[in-house]
Structure 1
């Protein structure tokens, strides 16, 4: 068991090493420049929004374009969609009770992600309000067994939906911090030997390592995915290395 867990940990560490720092990708054209190039805003509007952002030391440029320049939210979403090359979706059909079971709430809070809904039994739409996170999407795809499509959601709709999700019961979770990868492998091995799950998976989300265990065969949904139908007989452990 320990040998298998060590192999899984090495797989998730990849070539980065255990102390690598995850940095955001900065290869996208800035939203303001994108909208300016498309003729959706003027140079003076962009300068006004950037000035407000600098003076306040917070907020995204889209928020300042809306509040300071009166740019419509739909136009901001259109720009973000073009910036990231992904569609814009609404929260229509969002079920906070079922989506709360998809990923641990700690990731919903830390990474600005929102499981939005599934299409049939094959696609899971993962929503973001402005900046997409490819690592979060890939990890969710690996854990769920579904194809994950990243989408942009209006910021107000996103926050309302995320607030509802955070009030719902999710999968029981335990957070643990370990000294190094060997200590993490030993902890995971001990947990698996104690719980004896019928299925388990380990994936990495930036600096965290997410272990999900299905304790009974009925915990896996009736579809081809690994999304739990309820929070019963499923358990999450999230490990971080000091």
Structure 2
């Protein structure tokens, strides 16, 4: 956390590496303030800074490795969490082992998602940095999750708790866990065969995810 609080801003990192001059950086910052675009996008579009230089600087900001990945369509299907959670946090899963999970990010790690995954599973979450283009390709290719997902919006926390309790009572899962991450309550259930037969949404699967959110709260989407 100390490294995160004191990390060097992206523009200064690129200037220190000789990628941009001080004058170019000030011009890019003014344009960013006027357009609301990300600094990296401004530098690429208006100053022609190569994407790989920006990706390398972001990795250095966070002390993370740069990941060189195959096309997202060639990656194995992941079922560790609903795709919506990865999409909202600006990350995507790359590799899962017996003890860990590697996530790719384009702008920096998401500690809330890492904590949620580590609470859901007994594994350690690590991050690496990829280009924004690779992240967008993954979002387009993996719009759906490998595990069936239900989305439920509730008016308040009391109704959310009641909805979750009713579902657990009805399906009687073998095991279940719930964590909160980025404006969602993520409930994962491991189901017995009897539950799969009695619920149409659970038919043919042994794991089900439910994402609860509050209508009064806007979900946090990182851009």
> Counterpart in 2 of 1:203?
179
Q: How far is the alpha carbon of 1:207 from its aligned partner?
A: 2.1
Cα distance in 2 between the residues matched to 1:131 and 1:122:
22
Deviation of 1:138 after TM superposition, in Å, equals: 1.5
> Equivalences for 1:209-228 in 2 at 5 Å?
209-216=185-192
Match of 1:179 in 2: 155
* 1:1-242 paired onto structure 2 within 5 Å: 28-55=7-34, 57-92=35-70, 96=75, 98-99=77-78, 101-118=79-96, 120-166=97-143, 168-216=144-192, 232-241=205-214, 242=216
Q: Deviations over 1:6-60 (max 9, x none)?
A: xxxxxxxxxxxxxxxxxxx8764321122223433211221232233233x2321
Q: CA RMSD in A?
A: 2.4
Q: Deviations over 1:77-101 (max 9, x none)?
A: 11101111211112238555522x2
Alpha-carbon distance, 1:72 to partner: 1.9
Does the CA contact (< 8 Å) of 2:89 and 2:182 recur in 1? Answer: no
User: How far has the Cα of 1:170 moved from its partner?
Assistant: 2.4
Structure 2 gaps of 5+ residues are 194-203, 217-223
Query: How many residues end up aligned between the 2 structures?
Result: 201
Cα 1:169–1:131 change in 2 (3 A) is closer
Question: Which shifted more, 81-90 or 173-182?
Answer: 173-182
Query: Contact 1:90/1:157 (CA < 8 Å) preserved in 2?
Result: no
User: Structure 1 CA distance, aligned partners of 2:184 and 2:176?
Assistant: 17
**What's the secondary structure of 2:102's corresponding residue?**
strand
CA contact (8 A) 1:90 1:154 kept: no
Query: Quick one: distance in 2 between partners of 1:179 and 1:155?
Result: 35
Highest RCO, 1 vs 2 (Cα 8 Å, sep ≥ 6)? 1
With normalisation by structure 2, the TM-score equals 0.79
- Retained in 2: the 8 A contact 1:210–1:237? yes
- Greater shift in the superposed pair: 175-184 or 81-90: 175-184
Q: State whether residues 65 and 71 of structure 1, in contact with CA within 8 Å, keep that contact through their aligned partners in structure 2.
A: yes
Which residue is 1:18 aligned to?
none
TM-score by length of 1: 0.73
In the TM superposition, residue 155 of structure 1 has moved relative to its aligned partner by 1.3
